[in-house]
């Protein structure tokens, strides 16, 4: 069972860690600018939507791949 548990290096290899840090950084900048200025530039707003959407899409893809691999292991 421990062989199915993802390690830090496997997650880094799949770029999940990097994507999460980039998403966190972009959202943090948005929050900071919104608190300080009261509004966000149009380009930064669009960039945030793109980054968060990409991050959520890859998380969903990894969840589906994990479910498929578990299902195929059960059949064997």
Domain count, the chain: 1
Structural domain that includes position 19: 2-75
Answer for the pair 52, 23: CB distance below 8 angstroms, yes or no. yes
Answer for the pair 27, 38: CB distance below 8 angstroms, yes or no. no
**Residue 57 burial (10 A CB sphere; 0-12, 13-18, 19+):** exposed
What are the pLDDT digits (tens) for 28-50?
Answer: 989 998 899 888 888 888 888 88
**Residue 44 burial (10 A CB sphere; 0-12, 13-18, 19+):** middle
- As separate numbers, helices (DSSP H) first and strands (DSSP E) second, the chain gives 3, 0
Examine the pLDDT at 11 and tell me if it is beyond 80.
no
Answer for the pair 27, 48: CB distance below 8 angstroms, yes or no. yes
pTM value?
0.63
């Amino acid at each position: 069972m421990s062989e199915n548990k993802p390690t830090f290096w496997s997650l880094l290899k799949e770029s999940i860690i990097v994507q999460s840090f980039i998403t966190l950084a972009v959202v943090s900048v948005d929050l900071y600018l919104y608190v300080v200025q009261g509004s966000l530039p149009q380009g930064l707003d669009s960039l945030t939507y793109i980054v968060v959407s990409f991050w959520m899409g890859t998380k969903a893809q990894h969840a589906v791949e994990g479910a498929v691999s578990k299902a195929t292991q059960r059949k064997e």
